[in-house]
A and B are shown apart, each in its own frame.
Chain A
Amino acid sequence: MNARNLTLGSLRELGTVGLVAGLCGAYAATLIMAASMLGALDDGSGSGADAMLTVVASVFIGIALYVGTVVIINAVDTVISGRLRHIALLRLLGSSARSLRRSVMRSTVTVGAVGAAAGLLAGTALADVVRIVLVSRGTMPKGDYPLVSPQLAVAFVLIAASAMVAGWLGSRVVLGVSPATALAGTTAYRRAPLRKSVLRAVLAVLFLGGGFAVLGLGAMVGESSEMGFFIAFLGSVASATGLLIGARFVIPRVVSMFSRLLGGDPSSRIARRNAVLDPLRTTRSTMGLVIGVTLVTTFASGMRALSDSVSSWDLDPEQAAMARQVLSVASTVLICIIVISSIIAAVGFVSTMSLTVLQRHREIGLLRALGFTRSQVRTMITKESVALSASAVLFGIALGLVYGTLGAQSLVGVMTTGLVWGLPLPALIVIALAGLVLVLVSSRRPARRAVAVTPVEALRIEA
């Protein structure tokens, strides 16, 4: 038995790491291969589109990788927080906190590398197969396409490195475990309070406030000049950066606000409290969803606003139909490309929900002993999932509508009278339905497991 098994436990617990790395890998490979094929197509004209495509692909891959890293950090942190006594025992027997963290890092990098390799392989194979089919059908011209791309190796290294960093950051909780915890009779779970970083708060406020101000300015300038889009883009990047930096201040508040709507009965109250018990975990488990939903909504809303603006212009019917057609295709393609962050975030969310319930075994047993019926326990778990995912989805939609609408305004405001709100109803309905599915999927298994907890077994002292 090696130290890794002792700290991180079963393969299932590491499964999320592998799955997320695999998704990132498959996604990266698909984009890289698509970019290199388009580049090969374009070679004759030499317009530099190749480099441009690589940059765009890198940005998308970067976003997916960022979401993936947050998800892995959270998975590792959740597993380890559930094993504090176990880790305290290892510390008691002589493991140093550093060596435990190193072993966690080793296992996430190993599993991450395996997942990344499998994902990259699958993505590359998929891209090649699709290309061969398209060429044979005549949809794509015959040509000298590369079978692989050297950039795949870069992607592999980056994914594995992200898994390593995530393992290190996620295992920070080990530092707070004193060996004496293993000896003490367990009392309530207590987590070290969030370190209040003034620098982080100041940066977040600056980027957020400044970013949104610049974004608004861009939208206004867009009314009269073509510089608007450039200004708005800078504003979006700055405000998004502010949101990422300040997520741990903003997201728990958003969740706590929305979850008040759940109701005041005991199962809702406990669900609500658990949803924001640990601000950092609340943030990490919903942040990916917020990012994903924001990106999808931004594109859907922006494209919708553009399309509505086009309708208001003085175009002949044929041109208008053409423009709408182009926008609709572009919007579909972009959303398909961007939706991966939401998928990775959803995978992470499902895994965190199920791990936190495992960790609350005793609490659930106590609630059952005190008179929570099975259906109240089930409701409690479902409502916690609702509190987190609904907040993330609604927050993401709100952000996306603002970014999309202001972005479109900054781009075509010059040609359109007034501000056109992009309200992409079909996309919003799909997002809401996807959110509902996520709630059902993420709470079904944990709820079933929670309902199966018997007070006798959960409250045994040795447990």
Chain B
Amino acid sequence: MTSSISLQHNQTQPVLAMHQVSKLYGEGSGRVAALDEVSVAIPRGGFTAIMGPSGSGKSTFMNVAAGLDDATSGEVVLAGQPLSKLGDEGRTVLRREQVGFVFQAFNLVPTLSALENILLPFDLAGRKVTAEQRQWIDQLVHTLGLAERIDHRPSELSGGQQQRVAIARALASQPAIIFADEPTGNLDSRSSREVLTLLRTASREYGQTIAMVSHDPVAASYADRILVIADGRIVGDHGPLTPQQISDLLIGFEIGAPA
């Protein structure tokens, strides 16, 4: 709790800072660097897309940045806390309090209703939902068109509805950062558009920091910053681009990459 208060006093500090972070898999000659000395900072309030071809290391980037996986070397500072100094318990609590997640699939706990899923981060932290937060959650549920399905179990919701519940959960506790891993990967194009618009709105209107991993140029075009990863390195750092520009950029990397 104290960390989040001190953070609010320090608005200039980035939410996520990575210094020379590497993540290596395997041993000896079979050793592969999924992340190769990556340094990057994500400031408060932006919507960043992390792009790259399959196997480029973008998912590893998210896992390491969110404290789901250990870096082999280097330092990740998430919401003001250096992850290497935290044990499993400390990182779990940090995720619970400062990080929201939206995954490609299997976002919701099957035995909990939509509302219970949304409230899970509060329950886990043992926090009471204040009147103000309750109002925010009601507003989210209403905006996301979930009001009528709120007591349903995930298996009774469509893929798009499940994804929207996951987004509501991530936004509900107003975490320092939301990590979204291919959030539209399983959705039809209409649901995709809805979800992406929602993320952009959350970032623009509520100042929510969002980092979204995607390989889809259309999805990335909703972001206001685009990081391109290839072979475990950040090879591009751009402002907002059109889907066409992003597509060209990616094709350029794929063709240009040494065989």
Contact = CB atoms under 8 A, between A and B. Distances in A.
Say whether A associates with B.
yes
A366 B162 CA distance: 14
A270 B111 contact: yes
Contacts of A373: 88-89, 92-93
Given A265-B123, A367-B109, A456-B63, A188 B154 contact: yes
A75 to B, nearest CB: 22
Contact of B124 (A366, A371, A459): A371
Given A186-B106, A187-B106, A273-B111, A370 B88 contact: no
B253 interface: no
A363 B107 CA distance: 9
Contacts of B103: 366, 369, 459
Contacts of B106: 186-188, 362-363, 366, 459
A273 B120 CA distance: 15
A374 B95 CA distance: 13
B86 to A, nearest CB: 12
A410 B202 CA distance: 73
A188 B108 contact: yes
Contact of A185 (B69, B121, B153, B159): B159
Contact-size category for B: 35 or more
Contact of B109 (A265, A366, A459): A366
A189 B125 contact: no
Contacts of B186: 185
Interface in A171-200: 185-190
B110 interface: yes
A363 B110 contact: yes
A302 B153 CA distance: 46
B162 A187 contact: yes
Nearest to A368: B92
B96 A461 contact: no
Nearest to B110: A188
A81 to B, nearest CB: 13
A266 interface: yes
Interface residues of A, number: 30
A273 B117 CA distance: 13
Contacts of A456: 63, 68-69
A455 interface: yes
Interface string B175-217: 0000000100110000000000000000000000000000000
A366 B107 contact: yes
B105 interface: yes
B112 interface: yes
B155 interface: yes
Contacts of B153: 188
Contacts of B222: none
Nearest to A271: B111
Q: Which of B121, B124, B185 has the most CB of A within 10 A?
A: B124
Q: Which of A277, A369, A376, A455 has the most CB of B within 10 A?
A: A369
B104 interface: yes
Given A370-B95, A373-B92, A189 B155 contact: yes
Given A185-B186, A456-B69, A461 B120 contact: no
Contacts of A369: 66, 68, 95, 101, 103
Contacts of A461: 104-105, 182, 185
A34 B166 CA distance: 63
B89 A374 contact: yes
Given A371-B93, A373-B89, A456-B69, A270 B112 contact: yes
Contacts of A454: 68-69
Nearest to A270: B111
A334 B122 CA distance: 53
Contacts of B96: 370-371
A455 B88 CA distance: 12
A163 B139 CA distance: 56
A241 interface: no
A187 B105 contact: yes
Q: Which of B92, B93, B101, B121 has the most CB of A within 10 A?
A: B92
Contact of A371 (B95, B110, B159, B162): B95
Interface of B: 63, 66, 68-69, 88-89, 92-93, 95-97, 101, 103-112, 116, 120-121, 123-126, 153-155, 159, 162, 182, 185-186
Given A270-B112, A371-B93, 20 more contacts: A185-B185, A186-B106, A187-B105, A187-B159, A188-B153, A265-B123, A266-B124, A269-B123, A273-B112, A362-B106, A366-B106, A366-B108, A368-B92, A370-B101, A371-B95, A373-B89, A373-B92, A373-B93, A374-B92, A456-B68
| 3 nearest A-B residue pairs (beta carbon) | A371-B96, A273-B111, A190-B155
Interface of A: 185-190, 265-266, 269-270, 273-274, 277, 362-363, 366-374, 376, 454-456, 459, 461
